Protein backbone atom coordinates (compact mmCIF):
# COMPACT_ATOMS: atom_id res chain seq x y z
CA UNK A 1 0.00 0.00 0.00
CA UNK A 2 1.29 3.50 -0.76
CA UNK A 3 1.99 5.73 2.18
CA UNK A 4 -0.42 8.61 2.52
CA UNK A 5 -0.60 11.75 4.51
CA UNK A 6 -3.04 11.50 7.44
CA UNK A 7 -2.38 14.87 9.04
CA UNK A 8 -1.43 18.29 7.77
CA UNK A 9 -1.36 21.53 9.66
CA UNK A 10 -0.02 25.01 9.63
CA UNK A 11 0.39 27.71 12.22
CA UNK A 12 -0.68 31.27 11.52
CA UNK A 13 1.29 34.24 12.82
CA UNK A 14 -0.86 37.31 13.38
CA UNK A 15 0.26 40.90 13.64
CA UNK A 16 -2.11 43.86 13.33
CA UNK A 17 0.02 46.80 14.47
CA UNK A 18 3.72 46.79 13.73
CA UNK A 19 6.56 48.21 15.79
CA UNK A 20 6.06 51.63 14.26
CA UNK A 21 2.43 51.79 15.26
CA UNK A 22 1.20 51.18 11.73
CA UNK A 23 -1.94 49.08 11.39
CA UNK A 24 -2.33 46.48 8.65
CA UNK A 25 -5.70 47.37 7.20
CA UNK A 26 -6.37 43.81 6.10
CA UNK A 27 -6.05 42.60 9.66
CA UNK A 28 -7.74 45.48 11.43
CA UNK A 29 -11.29 44.11 11.45
CA UNK A 30 -12.61 42.97 14.81
CA UNK A 31 -9.93 44.74 16.74
CA UNK A 32 -10.08 47.68 19.08
CA UNK A 33 -11.52 51.14 18.47
CA UNK A 34 -9.26 54.15 18.92
CA UNK A 35 -11.08 55.00 22.15
CA UNK A 36 -10.37 51.53 23.46
CA UNK A 37 -6.74 51.68 22.36
CA UNK A 38 -6.33 54.97 24.19
CA UNK A 39 -7.86 53.66 27.40
CA UNK A 40 -5.83 50.46 27.32
CA UNK A 41 -2.63 52.38 26.56
CA UNK A 42 -3.24 54.55 29.62
CA UNK A 43 -3.96 51.50 31.74
CA UNK A 44 -0.85 49.78 30.41
CA UNK A 45 1.27 52.71 31.54
CA UNK A 46 -0.24 52.53 34.99
CA UNK A 47 0.65 48.83 35.20
CA UNK A 48 4.19 49.57 33.96
CA UNK A 49 4.53 52.21 36.66
CA UNK A 50 3.52 49.71 39.32
CA UNK A 51 6.02 47.23 37.90
CA UNK A 52 8.86 49.76 38.04
CA UNK A 53 7.96 50.81 41.57
CA UNK A 54 7.71 47.18 42.66
CA UNK A 55 11.26 46.71 41.41
CA UNK A 56 12.41 49.72 43.41
CA UNK A 57 10.61 48.50 46.52
CA UNK A 58 12.57 45.28 46.32
CA UNK A 59 15.86 47.06 45.69
CA UNK A 60 15.30 49.32 48.67
CA UNK A 61 14.46 46.40 50.96
CA UNK A 62 10.77 47.18 51.29
CA UNK A 63 9.59 44.08 49.43
CA UNK A 64 10.85 40.56 48.78
CA UNK A 65 11.71 38.95 45.46
CA UNK A 66 9.63 40.27 42.56
CA UNK A 67 9.34 39.10 38.94
CA UNK A 68 9.02 42.11 36.66
CA UNK A 69 6.31 42.05 34.01
CA UNK A 70 7.91 44.81 31.92
CA UNK A 71 7.44 44.40 28.19
CA UNK A 72 4.75 41.73 28.35
CA UNK A 73 1.76 43.91 29.18
CA UNK A 74 0.11 43.70 25.75
CA UNK A 75 -0.27 39.93 26.03
CA UNK A 76 -1.89 40.27 29.45
CA UNK A 77 -4.15 43.21 28.64
CA UNK A 78 -5.17 42.08 25.17
CA UNK A 79 -6.35 38.71 26.42
CA UNK A 80 -7.98 39.97 29.59
CA UNK A 81 -9.85 42.66 27.69
CA UNK A 82 -11.30 39.95 25.45
CA UNK A 83 -12.83 38.28 28.51
CA UNK A 84 -15.77 39.50 30.57
CA UNK A 85 -14.80 40.99 33.91
CA UNK A 86 -16.68 39.43 36.83
CA UNK A 87 -17.87 36.56 34.66
CA UNK A 88 -14.91 34.90 32.99
CA UNK A 89 -12.15 33.45 35.14
CA UNK A 90 -8.41 34.18 35.02
CA UNK A 91 -5.83 31.61 36.13
CA UNK A 92 -2.42 33.28 36.08
CA UNK A 93 1.18 32.37 36.73
CA UNK A 94 2.99 35.53 37.85
CA UNK A 95 3.85 37.70 34.85
CA UNK A 96 0.43 39.02 33.86
CA UNK A 97 -0.43 41.40 36.70
CA UNK A 98 -2.13 43.74 34.24
CA UNK A 99 -4.73 41.08 33.37
CA UNK A 100 -5.52 40.56 37.04
CA UNK A 101 -5.85 44.30 37.70
CA UNK A 102 -8.09 44.70 34.67
CA UNK A 103 -10.42 42.05 36.10
CA UNK A 104 -10.73 43.78 39.44
CA UNK A 105 -7.81 42.73 41.62
CA UNK A 106 -6.80 45.75 43.70
CA UNK A 107 -3.20 46.57 42.75
CA UNK A 108 -1.89 46.41 46.28
CA UNK A 109 -2.73 42.69 46.45
CA UNK A 110 0.18 41.84 44.19
CA UNK A 111 2.55 43.93 46.29
CA UNK A 112 1.20 42.29 49.44
CA UNK A 113 1.90 38.86 47.92
CA UNK A 114 5.55 39.73 47.25
CA UNK A 115 5.80 41.40 50.64
CA UNK A 116 5.31 37.93 52.12
CA UNK A 117 1.68 38.27 53.14
CA UNK A 118 -0.85 35.60 52.14
CA UNK A 119 -3.61 38.18 52.21
CA UNK A 120 -2.29 39.21 48.81
CA UNK A 121 -3.88 35.96 47.60
CA UNK A 122 -7.17 36.51 49.41
CA UNK A 123 -9.05 37.28 46.21
CA UNK A 124 -11.99 39.59 46.98
CA UNK A 125 -15.55 38.31 46.60
CA UNK A 126 -16.74 38.70 43.04
CA UNK A 127 -13.27 38.90 41.50
CA UNK A 128 -13.06 35.88 39.22
CA UNK A 129 -9.46 34.75 39.37
CA UNK A 130 -6.95 32.60 41.20
CA UNK A 131 -3.97 34.17 42.90
CA UNK A 132 -0.44 34.05 41.46
CA UNK A 133 0.88 30.54 40.99
CA UNK A 134 4.55 30.16 41.86
CA UNK A 135 5.40 26.60 40.73
CA UNK A 136 5.58 26.26 36.97
CA UNK A 137 2.77 24.82 34.94
CA UNK A 138 0.56 23.45 37.69
CA UNK A 139 -2.21 26.01 37.33
CA UNK A 140 -3.39 25.00 33.86
CA UNK A 141 -4.99 21.90 35.35
CA UNK A 142 -6.88 24.08 37.83
CA UNK A 143 -8.05 26.26 34.95
CA UNK A 144 -9.18 23.14 33.10
CA UNK A 145 -11.17 22.00 36.14
CA UNK A 146 -12.72 25.44 36.60
CA UNK A 147 -13.72 25.63 32.93
CA UNK A 148 -15.04 22.07 33.18
CA UNK A 149 -17.30 23.10 36.08
CA UNK A 150 -18.67 25.96 33.93
CA UNK A 151 -19.47 23.44 31.22
CA UNK A 152 -21.07 20.98 33.66
CA UNK A 153 -23.32 23.70 35.04
CA UNK A 154 -24.02 25.12 31.57
CA UNK A 155 -22.81 28.57 32.64
CA UNK A 156 -21.78 30.94 29.82
CA UNK A 157 -18.33 31.48 31.32
CA UNK A 158 -14.83 31.03 29.98
CA UNK A 159 -11.52 30.48 31.78
CA UNK A 160 -8.22 31.90 30.60
CA UNK A 161 -4.92 30.56 31.83
CA UNK A 162 -1.45 32.07 31.50
CA UNK A 163 1.96 30.42 31.48
CA UNK A 164 5.39 30.81 29.93
CA UNK A 165 7.32 28.95 27.26
CA UNK A 166 9.17 26.95 29.91
CA UNK A 167 5.91 25.68 31.39
CA UNK A 168 5.11 23.86 28.15
CA UNK A 169 7.84 21.35 29.05
CA UNK A 170 5.94 20.30 32.17
CA UNK A 171 3.82 17.16 32.22
CA UNK A 172 0.94 19.05 33.79
CA UNK A 173 0.80 21.32 30.74
CA UNK A 174 0.21 18.33 28.49
CA UNK A 175 -2.28 16.75 30.87
CA UNK A 176 -4.21 20.01 31.04
CA UNK A 177 -4.20 20.36 27.25
CA UNK A 178 -5.40 16.79 26.87
CA UNK A 179 -8.15 17.01 29.49
CA UNK A 180 -9.33 20.36 28.10
CA UNK A 181 -9.42 18.91 24.63
CA UNK A 182 -11.07 15.59 25.52
CA UNK A 183 -13.79 17.26 27.56
CA UNK A 184 -14.04 20.34 25.29
CA UNK A 185 -14.02 22.79 28.17
CA UNK A 186 -14.36 26.55 27.63
CA UNK A 187 -10.73 27.51 28.20
CA UNK A 188 -8.13 29.63 26.46
CA UNK A 189 -4.50 28.63 26.96
CA UNK A 190 -2.26 31.68 26.73
CA UNK A 191 1.45 31.06 26.46
CA UNK A 192 3.52 34.15 27.04
CA UNK A 193 6.53 33.04 25.07
CA UNK A 194 9.00 35.54 26.48
CA UNK A 195 11.97 33.58 25.12
CA UNK A 196 13.53 32.78 28.49
CA UNK A 197 12.78 30.41 31.38
CA UNK A 198 15.14 31.99 33.90
CA UNK A 199 18.42 31.25 32.07
CA UNK A 200 17.25 28.69 29.52
CA UNK A 201 16.38 30.12 26.10
CA UNK A 202 13.40 28.89 24.16
CA UNK A 203 15.50 27.00 21.62
CA UNK A 204 17.09 24.97 24.42
CA UNK A 205 13.73 24.45 26.07
CA UNK A 206 12.23 22.77 23.01
CA UNK A 207 13.03 21.66 19.49
CA UNK A 208 9.58 22.76 18.32
CA UNK A 209 9.74 25.66 15.88
CA UNK A 210 6.72 27.25 17.54
CA UNK A 211 5.06 26.79 20.90
CA UNK A 212 1.70 27.01 19.15
CA UNK A 213 2.25 23.73 17.33
CA UNK A 214 2.09 21.82 20.60
CA UNK A 215 -1.66 22.40 20.58
CA UNK A 216 -1.99 20.58 17.25
CA UNK A 217 -1.47 17.33 19.14
CA UNK A 218 -4.60 18.12 21.13
CA UNK A 219 -6.69 19.09 18.11
CA UNK A 220 -7.10 22.63 19.34
CA UNK A 221 -7.35 25.80 17.26
CA UNK A 222 -3.94 27.38 17.76
CA UNK A 223 -2.34 30.69 16.87
CA UNK A 224 0.95 32.50 17.13
CA UNK A 225 0.49 36.22 17.63
CA UNK A 226 2.85 39.13 18.03
CA UNK A 227 2.49 39.27 21.80
CA UNK A 228 3.62 42.88 21.94
CA UNK A 229 0.84 43.90 19.57
CA UNK A 230 -2.18 44.69 21.70
CA UNK A 231 -4.54 44.59 18.71
CA UNK A 232 -3.40 41.21 17.45
CA UNK A 233 -3.55 39.69 20.92
CA UNK A 234 -7.03 41.08 21.48
CA UNK A 235 -8.31 40.03 18.07
CA UNK A 236 -7.28 36.42 18.46
CA UNK A 237 -8.17 36.22 22.16
CA UNK A 238 -11.67 37.52 21.42
CA UNK A 239 -12.09 34.87 18.75
CA UNK A 240 -10.98 32.16 21.19
CA UNK A 241 -13.10 33.43 24.09
CA UNK A 242 -16.19 33.72 21.89
CA UNK A 243 -15.68 30.23 20.50
CA UNK A 244 -15.25 28.79 23.99
CA UNK A 245 -18.36 30.55 25.24
CA UNK A 246 -20.30 29.21 22.29
CA UNK A 247 -19.40 25.63 23.16
CA UNK A 248 -16.49 25.36 20.71
CA UNK A 249 -13.98 24.14 23.27
CA UNK A 250 -10.46 25.23 24.13
CA UNK A 251 -7.94 27.19 22.07
CA UNK A 252 -4.26 27.96 22.28
CA UNK A 253 -2.49 31.29 21.83
CA UNK A 254 1.27 31.67 21.67
CA UNK A 255 1.98 35.32 22.36
CA UNK A 256 5.52 36.00 21.19
CA UNK A 257 6.98 38.55 23.54
CA UNK A 258 10.12 39.24 25.50
CA UNK A 259 11.13 39.40 29.14
CA UNK A 260 12.83 42.79 29.18
CA UNK A 261 13.86 42.46 32.84
CA UNK A 262 15.65 39.77 34.80
CA UNK A 263 13.62 36.65 35.70
CA UNK A 264 13.14 38.10 39.18
CA UNK A 265 14.94 40.61 41.33
CA UNK A 266 16.99 37.66 42.61
CA UNK A 267 18.28 36.99 39.10
CA UNK A 268 21.00 38.63 36.98
CA UNK A 269 20.27 37.96 33.32
CA UNK A 270 23.64 39.40 32.27
CA UNK A 271 25.11 36.06 33.31
CA UNK A 272 23.41 34.24 30.47
CA UNK A 273 22.02 36.54 27.80
CA UNK A 274 23.47 39.05 25.41
CA UNK A 275 22.55 42.67 25.98
CA UNK A 276 22.31 43.08 22.21
CA UNK A 277 19.38 40.71 22.22
CA UNK A 278 17.66 42.72 24.94
CA UNK A 279 18.33 45.93 23.07
CA UNK A 280 16.85 44.48 19.90
CA UNK A 281 13.58 43.99 21.77
CA UNK A 282 13.45 47.40 23.44
CA UNK A 283 12.05 48.97 20.29
CA UNK A 284 9.32 46.36 20.18
CA UNK A 285 7.94 47.40 23.56
CA UNK A 286 4.13 47.48 23.32
CA UNK A 287 3.93 50.93 24.90
CA UNK A 288 6.15 52.47 22.23
CA UNK A 289 4.09 51.33 19.27
CA UNK A 290 0.79 52.25 20.89
CA UNK A 291 2.06 55.74 21.60
CA UNK A 292 3.28 56.13 18.03
CA UNK A 293 -0.12 55.06 16.75
CA UNK A 294 -2.03 57.37 19.07
CA UNK A 295 0.21 60.29 18.18
CA UNK A 296 -0.39 59.81 14.47
CA UNK A 297 -4.09 59.90 15.27
CA UNK A 298 -3.63 63.08 17.30
CA UNK A 299 -4.94 61.32 20.36
CA UNK A 300 -1.73 61.67 22.31
CA UNK A 301 1.18 64.05 22.71
CA UNK A 302 3.99 64.90 25.07
CA UNK A 303 1.79 67.10 27.25
CA UNK A 304 -0.74 64.33 27.70
CA UNK A 305 2.06 61.89 28.33
CA UNK A 306 3.56 64.01 31.09
CA UNK A 307 0.18 64.53 32.73
CA UNK A 308 -0.61 60.83 32.57
CA UNK A 309 2.76 59.86 34.00
CA UNK A 310 2.07 62.11 36.97
CA UNK A 311 -1.34 60.53 37.39
CA UNK A 312 0.13 57.01 37.27
CA UNK A 313 2.77 57.95 39.82
CA UNK A 314 0.10 59.29 42.15
CA UNK A 315 -2.05 56.18 41.77
CA UNK A 316 0.85 53.79 42.33
CA UNK A 317 2.09 55.85 45.26
CA UNK A 318 -1.31 55.34 46.89
CA UNK A 319 -1.15 51.62 46.09
CA UNK A 320 2.24 51.35 47.80
CA UNK A 321 0.95 53.32 50.77
CA UNK A 322 -2.00 50.94 51.05
CA UNK A 323 0.19 47.83 50.86
CA UNK A 324 2.72 49.14 53.35
CA UNK A 325 0.00 50.38 55.66
CA UNK A 326 -1.42 46.93 56.20
CA UNK A 327 -0.32 45.66 59.56
CA UNK A 328 1.60 42.41 59.95
CA UNK A 329 -0.68 39.36 59.95
CA UNK A 330 -1.55 37.97 63.34
CA UNK A 331 0.36 34.97 64.67
CA UNK A 332 -2.90 33.04 64.91
CA UNK A 333 -3.27 33.24 61.12
CA UNK A 334 -0.55 30.58 60.84
CA UNK A 335 -2.96 28.08 62.40
CA UNK A 336 -6.41 29.36 61.64
CA UNK A 337 -6.58 28.79 57.88
CA UNK A 338 -5.21 25.25 57.67
CA UNK A 339 -8.72 23.78 57.83
CA UNK A 340 -12.22 25.20 57.95
CA UNK A 341 -12.23 24.36 61.66
CA UNK A 342 -9.07 24.00 63.72
CA UNK A 343 -8.47 20.46 65.01
CA UNK A 344 -7.41 19.52 68.56
CA UNK A 345 -3.75 18.89 67.65
CA UNK A 346 -3.41 22.27 65.94
CA UNK A 347 -5.22 23.88 68.85
CA UNK A 348 -2.67 22.32 71.24
CA UNK A 349 0.20 23.50 69.08
CA UNK A 350 -1.24 26.99 68.90
CA UNK A 351 -1.65 27.05 72.67
CA UNK A 352 1.87 25.78 73.35
CA UNK A 353 3.62 27.45 70.42
CA UNK A 354 5.72 29.65 72.69
CA UNK A 355 6.67 26.93 75.16
CA UNK A 356 9.56 24.50 75.09
CA UNK A 357 7.25 21.56 74.56
CA UNK A 358 5.20 22.04 71.41
CA UNK A 359 1.86 20.34 71.62
CA UNK A 360 2.77 18.59 74.83
CA UNK A 361 0.57 18.33 77.86
CA UNK A 362 2.24 20.84 80.27
CA UNK A 363 1.56 18.49 83.17
CA UNK A 364 4.03 16.06 81.63
CA UNK A 365 6.90 18.47 82.06
CA UNK A 366 6.01 19.38 85.61
CA UNK A 367 4.48 22.74 84.85
CA UNK A 368 1.31 22.20 86.82
CA UNK A 369 -0.61 19.64 88.78
CA UNK A 370 -0.70 16.38 86.96
CA UNK A 371 -2.80 13.28 87.10
CA UNK A 372 -0.87 10.44 88.71
CA UNK A 373 -0.95 6.77 87.81
CA UNK A 374 -3.33 4.82 89.97
Partner 1 sequence: MPRTDVMKQKGLTLVDAINEALEQEMTRDSRVVILGEDVGANGGVFRVTEGLQKIFGKDRVIDTPLAESGIMGTAIGLAMAGMRPIPEIQFDGFLGPAYDQLTNHAARYRTRTRGAITIPLTVRVPVGGGIHAPELHSDSPEAIYAHTPGLKVVMPCTPVDAKGLLTAAIRDPDPVVFFEPKRVYRSFREEVPEEEYTIPIGHAKVVSEGTDLTVVTWGASVFECLAAIDKLPEDVSIELIDLRTIYPIDLDTIVQSVQKTGRCVIVHEAPKTSGFGAEISSLIQEHCFLFLKAPVQRVAGFDTVMPYYKLELDYLPDAKRIAESVTQTLAY
- Give the CA angle between residues 166, 238, 219 to the nearest 5°: 55
Q: How far is CA 275 from each of CA 58, 193, 263, 270, rounded to the nearest angstrom?
A: 23, 19, 15, 7
Among 171, 279, 327, 328, binds partner 1 (CB under 8 A): 171
**Active site annotation includes 263:** yes
**Position 118 contacts partner 1 (CB under 8 A):** yes
What is the four-CA torsion angle of 355, 359, 362, 364, rounded to 10 degrees? -120
**Position 182 contacts partner 1 (CB under 8 A):** yes
**Position 220 contacts partner 1 (CB under 8 A):** no
What is the nearest approach in angstroms of partner 1 to the Cβ of residue 320?
Answer: 21
Nearest CB to partner 1, comparing residues 122 and 296 = 122
**Position 143 contacts partner 1 (CB under 8 A):** yes
**Position 338 contacts partner 1 (CB under 8 A):** yes
Among 16, 83, 147, 212, binds partner 1 (CB under 8 A): 147
Q: Which of 202, 263, 284, 289 is catalytic?
A: 263
The CA distance from 25 to 179, in Å, is: 38
Stretch that binds partner 1, among 43-51, 120-128, 260-268, 316-324 (CB under 8 A): 120-128
Stretch that binds partner 1, among 17-25, 192-200, 265-273, 357-365 (CB under 8 A): 357-365
Q: Which of 48, 259, 284, 289 is catalytic?
A: 259
Among 28, 30, 65, 122, binds partner 1 (CB under 8 A): 122
* Helical packing angle, 34-59 and 230-245, nearest 10°: 100
What is the nearest approach in angstroms of partner 1 to the Cβ of residue 344?
Answer: 6
- Count of residues that interact with partner 1, criterion CB under 8 A: 49
Q: Which residues bind partner 1 (CB under 8 A)?
A: 89, 118-119, 121-124, 130-131, 135, 138, 140-150, 152, 171-172, 175-176, 178-179, 182-183, 333, 337-340, 343-346, 357, 359-361, 364, 370-373
Which residues are known catalytic residues? Answer: 259, 263, 272
Amino acid sequence: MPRKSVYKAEIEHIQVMDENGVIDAAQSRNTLSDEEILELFKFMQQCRQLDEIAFKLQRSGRMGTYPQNKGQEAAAIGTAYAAKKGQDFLVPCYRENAALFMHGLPMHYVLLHWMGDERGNQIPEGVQQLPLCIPIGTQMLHATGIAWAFKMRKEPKVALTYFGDGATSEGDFHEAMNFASVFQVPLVFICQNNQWAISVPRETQMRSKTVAQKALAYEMPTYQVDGNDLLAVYKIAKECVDRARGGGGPSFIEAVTYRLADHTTADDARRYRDQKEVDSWLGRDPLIRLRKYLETKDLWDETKQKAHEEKCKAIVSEVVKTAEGIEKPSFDDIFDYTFAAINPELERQKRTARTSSLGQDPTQVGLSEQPQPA
